[in-house]
Structure 1
């Protein structure tokens, strides 16, 4: 090989941080070491990767191509290091799980109870999100397992849950007057919608209501609707008791207005997943039986 991983690491640091001095601070090397390493890299390859414009290092066209390849190479090398650490330790000390809020929590608690009996010394760090929020964490390498309604590009996922959403309001809401409703009828009233927790900030479930309140947690939406302050599409697994007790009622729509959301299970690094991660993956995967049997 003409080049080394360390040279590619220095090259990527210069690009990521906008210059040689900034890269030196970021990866704890001297500026001269980084400058020499990148210069030697270009010399060995026989192509120019970076050009200095003012005080900033800018990628050439060749540099753009090589940066993509270098990024994949460094990610693979990091994955190998992680795999070796896991093999050395035997069992992972911590698993980072990101879960969309619509996943049924009673089912989650049951599988976590099962997991804790098999891996009592492994910590679980659970992050809850809405819509695309977990995909951002996956992209930044912050999680090990992801349950998401939106399959990110370049990843395969296992369908493990299908959630039904029902349009509901409190029994005394003006929409509960007995007559059959159309979508035009309900847009005249306040709708409670969920905010995407990712950087995209897309609102979930908004169908063009003239009034809307946007919240960031399903429980907040649920409690606002219970108090008669609006209507919302809510997960059936969250409101089943409310419907049975009569504290919430489905909107009397002229046509079925139920919505369905699929959740997919993704393993961030399948090749380096340890025994605890694989076991938690298998427990989450068993949820797909509920879909097949329904």
Structure 2
């Protein structure tokens, strides 16, 4: 191979600095070494990369084409070296975190700010899942660490740590028909009206459904935010995490109603694959557990 990465780097440095002498200073090489390297590659390739004008040089058309492609190669190699060094030092190149929809993103935002100031230079990718979707993301290697609800599937291969519980309340818009009902709402009361539910995001595992009865009229959405919006509009009813509607309850956009069959608290778990122990994963395990306890 006539054209090497080292040659591209030398040519790139000369082009950016504007002269062979400045390039030699930047690369910590003797000017004669720089001149010889360029002359050799030009001789081997059979064309010129630079137009000489005394001590100053400019790229030829072919030199410009070379660097348009060559700089991409140099960047790719630099990125690869960085990734390999991080892996060798126990620092992951990236960390994929899957959060169940009921885990407050505001808590993650504060952790991201802290993580940016840490010494762990790992790219963080965050996704949202619902119910069994988070567990599936972990087992299918779409996530490295998750915050999930309920017990995980059988089979092992992962570790868990309980971090808390999420209480649920039943609420509707103040002008919803159920808001006019007196006393505790029964199953029959709820079956008379449409429920808004967030669908389980699992793609392959058995889906889980909570807060809805068999034969219930329903509208299914993919996010908790959409569910809350539709309930605020009076389109349907449903159970929601209490923390998620505290502002709506305070403003009167939603009201809490007593029901005969309440939604049980959901247990939250951290989970990660048993043999994954990088620095970023360790940081986030500790941080997520502490953040919920607060």
Shared fold (TM-score greater than 0.5)? Answer: yes
Superposed counterparts of 1:79-94, under 5 Å: 88-94=88-94
Aligned residue number for residue 174 of structure 2? 171
1:224 aligns with 2:225: no
Counterpart secondary structure, 2:131: coil
Aligned residue number for residue 57 of structure 1? none
Aligned residue number for residue 253 of structure 2? 247
1:191 touches 1:231 (CA, 8 Å); kept in 2? yes
Q: Deviations over 1:40-93 (max 9, x none)?
A: xxxxxxxxxxxxxxxxxxxxxxxxxxxxxxxxxxxxxxxxxxxx9865144222
Closer/same/farther in 2, CA of residues 122 and 156 from structure 1, 3 Å limit:
closer
TM-score normalised over the length of structure 1: 0.64
Q: Distance in 2 between matches of 1:171 and 1:272?
A: 49
Aligned residue number for residue 208 of structure 1? 214
Counterpart secondary structure, 2:287: helix
Closer/same/farther in 2, CA of residues 158 and 229 from structure 1, 3 Å limit:
same
Counterpart secondary structure, 2:178: coil
The Cα of 1:272 is off from its aligned counterpart by 3.8
2:159 touches 2:273 (CA, 8 Å); kept in 1? no
Q: Distance in 2 between matches of 1:120 and 1:156?
A: 22
1:169 touches 1:250 (CA, 8 Å); kept in 2? yes
Superposed counterparts of 1:34-73, under 5 Å: none
Aligned residue number for residue 199 of structure 2? 195
1:185 aligns with 2:175: no
Q: Distance in 2 between matches of 1:85 and 1:98?
A: 26
Provide the aligned length of Structure 1 versus Structure 2.
205
Q: Distance in 1 between matches of 2:105 and 2:240?
A: 14
Aligned residue number for residue 274 of structure 1? 278
Closer/same/farther in 2, CA of residues 156 and 273 from structure 1, 3 Å limit:
closer
Counterpart secondary structure, 2:239: strand
Aligned residue number for residue 101 of structure 1? 101
Structure 1 ranges of 4+ moved more than 6 A: none
1:167 touches 1:232 (CA, 8 Å); kept in 2? yes
The Cα of 1:128 is off from its aligned counterpart by 0.7
The Cα of 1:106 is off from its aligned counterpart by 1.7
The Cα of 1:187 is off from its aligned counterpart by 1.3
> Could you list the runs of 5+ residues in structure 2 that have no partner in the other structure?
1-83
Q: Distance in 1 between matches of 2:109 and 2:207?
A: 29
> Could you list the runs of 5+ residues in structure 1 that have no partner in the other structure?
1-83
Q: Distance in 2 between matches of 1:222 and 1:286?
A: 27
Structural RMSD (CA): 2.2
Aligned residue number for residue 264 of structure 2? 259
Aligned residue number for residue 116 of structure 2? 116
Q: Distance in 2 between matches of 1:152 and 1:117?
A: 35
Counterpart secondary structure, 1:205: coil
